[in-house]
A and B are shown apart, each in its own frame.
Chain A
């Protein structure tokens, strides 16, 4: 009786997860790549956007601000769909990277704007008083301090982007969560195990990167603190 029951279930559910580990590894790799490229793209676009929001004139601000508000106010699923279906960006991985990257830029611009605005006005004034141009003052005095202060904000940003890579599943990118769905339809009894395994992977990634960011934060701290 027992053996018949067992034979109906050729593999234990955790065993099934283990057997499919290569599938998880591949999904994890895609999720990590998506996250990495999106954060980098977000940095490249978000840092200048933050500088413009802090120091720009009425025209440059008039462009950057509303665009940022619009992007932040649009659900990520819609941004991905627009990128892939309306703009026709392909392959899907590229579309997902662009969508996540642009959305991350909109978020990161606020991290940078906040950090720049937290640098005391006297720093800019002293730099200008020595004769530095505004651009040089931003580059050599304000940004080095602002970037240090923006590091903790990336704990949030990284976590958001990593977990939102799962939305790429909507346009068929086989990242971690998409693969979990596929596996679970292969062996429906393993649903809990499959999703627990995926969650564990997300947790380990988030935890290690957050620890890494804390280490980075200590490493770049100004000796003696900020006065």
Chain B
């Protein structure tokens, strides 16, 4: 059990100045888990993700990757092991799709140029973007950009992938291609922590769904249980509001 454990989040508190964002969050992830964080905006979902690769520091509590506190690890080393995909893609605007992927390989993993290019090309191919390798971000569609973003993170061979609302900035017709890549990734056994409003993805791909509200983890469980028979009233209210907004998915 212990050696299958990848991530421990223990009683994490976080605040921006006076504003308390996370108020004692605890959960854990085993290897190959796909956990989806849902909850109203401002509930602390994105902050929770950002704490795990230390883009945001926590006030209290403990986060451990592979049994080691992330605060005992070299920061850049931690980030190499934890891939992150952003809502706004954040592709390096002055670099081609290929160069977006090779930069980290060369600068962080010290790979030679030919090795980095070869690996990056394979990674782009795996997200269906072989043709676009030499395109610049501004020349790509939103869905293509996000797939480059995923390839960029995957190329570092992370142990854990964090997705921060990866489809929220996309036109509806482009969401599918990104979710498909994510579903493939989940099937290949990647450990993933995903913040998303795509309940369809949560149902299909998640091992667990975590419902956050006001900085607290209200409830967690397998998607069937959480969506069909939530134990907490707050979860039910939230799901009810979602359904009335989006229709039943």
Query: Is B243 located at the chain interface by the 8 A CB criterion?
Result: no
Query: Is A226 located at the chain interface by the 8 A CB criterion?
Result: yes
Annotate B77-105 by CB proximity to A: 1 below 8 A, 0 otherwise. Answer: 10110011010101111100000000110
Interface of A is mostly: helix
Query: Is B156 located at the chain interface by the 8 A CB criterion?
Result: yes
Alpha-carbon gap, A89 to B77, bound state (A): 50
Q: Is the CB of A126 within 8 A of B90?
A: yes
Annotate A118-140 by CB proximity to B: 1 below 8 A, 0 otherwise. Answer: 00101101111111110010001
Give the Cβ gap from A59 to chain B, nearest Cβ, in Å: 21
Alpha-carbon gap, A225 to B138, bound state (A): 6
The interface of chain B, by Cβ under 8 A from chain A, is 53, 55, 76-77, 79-80, 83-84, 86, 88, 90-94, 103-104, 107-108, 135-139, 145, 149, 152-153, 156
Give the Cβ gap from A125 to chain B, nearest Cβ, in Å: 6
Total number of A residues with any Cβ neighbor in B under 8 Å: 24
Given contacts A130-B103, A130-B104, contact A224 B94 (CB under 8 A): no
Stretch at the interface among A103-111, A141-149, A161-169, A186-194: A141-149
In the complex, chain B residues whose CB is within 8 Å of the CB of A222: 93-94, 136, 138
Give the Cβ gap from B93 to chain A, nearest Cβ, in Å: 6
Alpha-carbon gap, A130 to B138, bound state (A): 21
Indicate which residue in A123, A130, A140, A145 contacts B152 across the interface (CB closer than 8 Å): A130
Query: Is A223 located at the chain interface by the 8 A CB criterion?
Result: yes
Indicate which residue in A132, A223, A227 contacts B104 across the interface (CB closer than 8 Å): A132
| Chain B residue at minimum C-beta to C-beta distance from A145 | B94
| Chain A residue at minimum C-beta to C-beta distance from B109 | A131
Indicate which residue in A122, A128, A130, A148 contacts B88 across the interface (CB closer than 8 Å): A122
Given contacts A224-B139, A226-B138, contact A129 B93 (CB under 8 A): no
Indicate which residue in B79, B107, B135, B138 contacts A136 across the interface (CB closer than 8 Å): B107
Q: Is the CB of A127 within 8 A of B92?
A: yes
Alpha-carbon gap, A69 to B29, bound state (A): 53
Interface residues of A in 192-227 (CB under 8 A from B): 222-227
Alpha-carbon gap, A123 to B92, bound state (A): 6
Given contacts A129-B84, A133-B76, A140-B103, contact A223 B90 (CB under 8 A): no
In the complex, chain A residues whose CB is within 8 Å of the CB of B139: 223-224
Q: Is the CB of A224 within 8 A of B91?
A: no
Q: Which 8 A-B pairs have the closest CB atoms?
A: A224-B138, A126-B90, A131-B80, A122-B90, A130-B104, A227-B138, A224-B139, A131-B108
